[in-house]
C-alpha cells in the first residue's frame, strides 16, 4: 500500500495535516491529493517551476471553501454559476487560513509570501502571474480532466460523463496555461472520451470498469 509520504513530500505533511480539517467540504480533500500528484508531474515537465512554492500552494489553495455555507457551494461553480462572488470569497479566506498554517510551521526553504501570492486569485485571475502560478492553476484545473475529477463532478450535478466531457472541451481545457498542462488535459479528456465508446465498437463495456480494492491486490 502506498504511504502518504509517497505522494505528499515530508516537508509538506505538516501543512496537509493542518489543512485537512478545512478540506472536508465539496470533496476538496480528495481533490487536493490528486491535484498535488498532478502538480509534481507538471513540475517535472516544466523547467523553472519551483516546487517549494507550487506544492504548498496546491495543498492550501482550497482551505477557504470551509468558510462558505455548504448549501451555497455548488452555486459558486459549474457552467452557469449564480454566486461567482463566493469564488473570490474562498480565495480571501484561503489566504488568511494558509498564512496561519504556513507561519505556524515555517517549512524550510518555502517562501511564504510567494505561496500566498498564487493562492490569491487562483480561480478568479485567469492569466498566470508567474510560471509557478501557471503550474499551480494547471494542477488545480487539470484535476477536472482526471477520471477522479470527472466522476466527482458528475456526482455533484447528477449528470453523465458525456456532459462533463462537453464542459471540459467547451470551457475548462482552454484555461490550461502550460504546454504540459494542455497536454495533460487534452490527453485525459481524449482517453475518457474514447473509453465511453468501447461498447460502441466492441458490443460490450470495458472488462475492468473499476480498480479492485487495495486489499484484494496480490502480486
Q: 175-219: per-residue pLDDT in tens?
A: 999 999 999 999 999 999 999 999 999 999 999 888 777 655 555
Domains of the chain: 4-203 (1.10.3210.10)
pLDDT at 19: 98
Predicted confidence band of residue 1 (pLDDT cuts 50, 70, 90): very low
Cα–Cα dist 119/134, whole Å: 11
Cα–Cα dist 180/62, whole Å: 23
Cα–Cα dist 152/31, whole Å: 9
Coil, strand or helix at 3:
coil
pTM of the complete model: 0.92
Q: How large is the average pLDDT for residues 73-97? A: 83
Which of 199, 65, 203, 182 has its CA nearest to residue 128? 182
Cα–Cα dist 122/128, whole Å: 9
Show the cell assigned to 150: 470527472
- For residue 146, give Cα distances in angstroms to 65, 124, 186: 21, 22, 10
Q: How large is the average pLDDT for residues 10-26? A: 96
Cα–Cα dist 219/174, whole Å: 40
Q: How large is the average pLDDT for residues 32-41? A: 98
Show the cell assigned to 74: 455548488
Q: Percent of the chain at pLDDT above 70?
A: 94
pLDDT at 2 over 60: no
Predicted confidence band of residue 72 (pLDDT cuts 50, 70, 90): confident
Residue 82 or 85, more confident: 85
Cα–Cα dist 136/78, whole Å: 20
Amino acid at each position: 500500500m502506498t504511504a502518504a509520504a509517497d505522494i505528499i513530500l515530508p516537508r509538506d505533511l505538516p501543512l496537509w495535516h493542518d489543512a485537512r480539517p478545512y478540506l472536508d467540504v465539496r470533496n476538496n480533500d480528495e481533490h487536493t491529493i490528486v491535484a498535488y500528484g498532478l502538480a509534481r508531474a507538471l513540475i517535472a515537465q516544466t523547467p523553472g517551476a519551483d516546487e517549494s512554492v507550487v506544492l504548498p500552494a496546491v495543498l492550501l489553495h482550497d482551505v477557504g471553501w470551509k468558510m462558505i455555507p455548504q448549501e451555497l457551494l455548488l452555486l459558486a461553480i459549474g457552467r452557469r454559476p449564480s454566486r461567482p462572488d463566493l469564488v473570490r470569497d474562498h480565495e480571501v479566506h484561503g489566504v488568511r487560513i494558509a498564512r496561519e498554517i504556513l507561519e505556524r510551521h515555517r517549512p524550510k526553504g518555502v517562501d511564504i509570501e510567494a505561496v500566498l501570492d498564487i493562492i490569491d486569485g487562483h480561480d478568479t485571475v485567469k492569466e498566470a502571474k508567474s510560471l509557478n502560478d501557471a503550474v499551480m492553476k494547471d494542477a488545480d484545473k487539470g484535476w477536472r480532466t482526471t477520471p477522479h475529477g470527472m466522476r466527482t463532478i458528475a456526482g455533484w450535478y447528477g449528470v453523465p460523463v458525456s456532459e462533463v466531457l462537453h464542459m471540459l472541451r467547451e470551457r475548462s481545457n482552454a484555461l490550461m496555461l502550460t504546454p504540459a498542462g494542455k497536454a495533460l488535459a487534452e490527453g485525459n479528456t481524449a482517453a475518457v472520451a474514447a473509453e465511453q465508446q468501447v461498447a460502441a465498437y466492441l458490443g460490450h463495456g470495458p472488462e475492468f470498469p473499476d480498480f479492485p480494492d487495495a486489499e484484494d491486490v496480490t502480486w
